[in-house]
Amino acid sequence: MAIRCGRCARPYFVDVAIKEAGFTLATSPNISAPLLAWESSVRLLTGNGPQAIDQQTAKLRTILTNTPAYQQQVVEQVTVAVPANRRFMS
């Protein structure tokens, strides 16, 4: 069906923009297989659709648990969880 309106949105393909920005586009012969891409130089995590959500979640968890902020939060939670009269002094 053709739309004869000059105000219609033009198609935009993300893969074209990625290539134009100088990045390599990761592709898979099986388009329904999950594919994850992490570009650490710009801290960009992306996938090829809903089928990659589980992989994205796992990668995000890994990235975030390695941050200093998360490590500090873990230390604070452990400190709060141990009652003051049970803390070991060295």
Identify the pLDDT of residue 44. 85
> Quick check: is 70 in a domain?
yes
In a domain, 41, yes or no: yes
Q: Is 74 exposed, middle or buried (0-12, 13-18, 19+ CB in 10 A)?
A: exposed
Q: Does residue 76 sit within a domain? A: yes
Whether 88 is in a domain gets the answer no
Q: Which tens digits make up the pLDDT trace of 8-50?
A: 656 667 778 878 888 877 777 888 889 888 888 888 888 888 8
Domain that holds residue 66: 14-83
Which backbone phi and psi does 15 adopt, to 5 degrees?
-60, -35
Using alpha carbons, select from 22, 50, 52 the residue that is nearest to residue 37. 52
Instruction: Kindly state whether residue 77 falls inside one of the protein's structural domains.
Output: yes
Provide the number of structural domains found in the chain: 1
Q: What percent of the chain stands above pLDDT 70?
A: 74
